[in-house]
Structures are given as structure tokens and as C-alpha cells.
Amino acid sequence: METKLRIAIQKSGRLSESSLKLLKECGIEFDNGLNKLKAEAFNFPLEVFFLRDDDIPQYVEDGVADIGIVGENVFLEKNKKIQLVDKLGFGKCRLSIAIPKEKKYTSLKDFDGKRFATSYPNILSNYLKKNKIKAEIQEISGSVEIAPGIGLADAICDLVSSGSTLFTNGLKETTIILNSEAVLVANNNLKRDRKIILNKLLFRINAVRKAKNTKYILLNAPNNKLQKICSILPGMKSPTILPLAEKNWSSVHSVVEENQFWEIIEKLKTNGAQGILVLPIEKMIL
């Protein structure tokens, strides 16, 4: 029987849609019926398990699944013997300490002798230990943000993205203890044939991620401006230059990174580039 790599992803929650989308962008197709526990890809040796995110690290450690996608927060909190293979760039959030907004905050020392409510007791206690703060930690599994209001804790440690949950519960963020995003984790003892499939998958994931951060750019320029324009463009190696039908004009093709994009476009314009076209890149193999 053909070996398959088994990946565990969140069944339903904040990471589900992006995890499915990532696999799809990698060209992997499978039947994702509602309430399914398992699916087999048609065109890649991959089996997909749909699980609760909290269970994924354990399944990967036990080798029930070979790899998994979870928040880095879950990976660190569960502290299983598994490895972080890649950061995936979605599901971004932060694990922060927050206190009632009317309370004054000066430094971490304020938390000495105080009570925390959190679903992340391991990450929090490591953080407090590292900073030599002695506090009590009350582990609760949900609705952590209501703990100060009902007198269960002086402070909370919880995930934040927009901050609106803290705000509506009368809390303010004092300290970020972890910046988190979805990560790909793997079993520590993958067999060779599974590693080969994992490497194929990683190759595709990287191509998709690189492409997302990059745009393809085409522009026209008079030949006497080409040298200057090429020096502005980073390109993968160097830009492609093609002559236009109009004499002394050329078309220049290159790729630019999203974060440098506007700066580069402005420079190109002031240096004589015209008819600039910017296109998304679907995949990028270097």
C-alpha cells in the first residue's frame, strides 16, 4: 500500500479555514464533507484528520498523526515532544496579560502575590518564573476575560487579536508574553518515506507563501532610463528586458516584495517608468 502522510488540522475554529485553504493552494484536493473525521487527498499522498486543536500536539507526539497545524500558543502550552517545522503566517494573535482598566500598572512587579486566571498556565508560569514574579495561577478553560469581574483573579493571561474582547470586558492589556501564529508541527521520529512526502509538502507551502509576499511587475521605460530603473528593481536575479515595437523603448519585468512595494513604485515613476502593471503571483519556485 502507498505510504501516506497524515496531517491533523483543526476541525472547526479559527484555524480551520486557513488550514484548508493552504492545502488547497498547495494543489491538494480532497473531499471535505461536514462532520467528517478524516479525508483522503485524491492527488497527493496525504490523509487529513479533523481534530480539536488542543488534541493535535498529543496525536502528533504519539504518531497517530505525522504532522499538524496548531497555534504556536498551543504548541508551547502543551509542551509535547514534537518539533516546530514551519511558521505559516496566519492565525496571528498575541498572548497577553490584562488587568481591569481602572487599575494602575507600573511594572511586572505589580503582579507579585496576585492571582491570574488563564488557559495557558504553562506558558504563563514559565514567563513569571523567568521574570522572578511569584503569583498564583488559576487555570480556566474558557471565558477567561470575565474572571476579574467575578472576583476570581486580579489579572488574566489570554489571547488577543483586535483587543475588542478585552475592551468590552473593561480590561486593558499590560504585557505581551508571546506573539503567536499558526505553525506546522511534526512527529520527532518520522520514517524516511513520510519525510520525503513532508518535504514535498513543505516545498509547496514555501512556494505558496513566497508568492503571497511578492508581486510581478511590468513597466515600460525609455532605453536611456533603463540603467537607473534596473538599479531600483530588486528582481529574483535581475529584471527581464524586452524591446518594445516603439523605437528606443523597452518593457521591464521583475518581482518585488510586498513590503517594499509602494516605495519602489514611487521611485520607478519618478525615474521615468510608464504603464506600470502589477500582477499577483500564484506560486514562486526559487
CB 118 within 8 A of CB 78: no
- Does position 63 interact with ligand PRT (CB under 6 A)? The reply is no
- Does position 54 interact with Zn ion (CB under 5 A)? The reply is yes
Task: Return the one option of Zn ion, ligand PRT, none that residue 10 interacts with (CB less than 5 to 8 A, by type).
Answer: ligand PRT
CB 127 within 8 A of CB 148: no
Stretch that binds ligand PRT, among 12-20, 38-46, 171-179, 274-282 (CB under 6 A): 12-20
- Does position 162 interact with ligand PRT (CB under 6 A)? The reply is yes
Task: Return the one option of Zn ion, ligand PRT, none that residue 93 interacts with (CB less than 5 to 8 A, by type).
Answer: ligand PRT
**Between 124 and 264, whose beta carbon lies closer to Zn ion?**
124
Return d(Cα 121, Cα 55) in angstroms, integer.
17
Return d(Cα 1, Cα 246) in angstroms, integer.
61
- Does position 35 interact with ligand PRT (CB under 6 A)? The reply is no
Task: Write the burial class of residue 218 (CB in 10 Å: 0-12 exposed, 13-18 middle, 19+ buried).
Answer: middle
- Does position 180 interact with ligand PRT (CB under 6 A)? The reply is yes
The x, y and z cell numbers of residue 278, run together, are: 502589477
Place of cell 509602494: 262
Stretch that binds Zn ion, among 50-58, 62-70, 168-176, 274-282 (CB under 5 A): 50-58
Length reported for the chain: 286
**Between 14 and 115, whose beta carbon lies closer to ligand PRT?**
14
The x, y and z cell numbers of residue 74, run together, are: 498551543
- Does position 160 interact with ligand PRT (CB under 6 A)? The reply is yes
Q: How far is the CB of 53 from ligand PRT (least distance, A)?
A: 4
- Does position 53 interact with Zn ion (CB under 5 A)? The reply is yes
Return d(Cα 188, Cα 62) in angstroms, integer.
10
Return the sign of the alpha-carbon dihedral for residues 62, 63, 65, 70: positive
Give the binding site for ligand PRT (CB under 6 A): 10, 13-15, 52-54, 71, 73-74, 91, 93, 158-165, 180
Q: Which residues bind Zn ion (CB under 5 A)?
A: 53-54
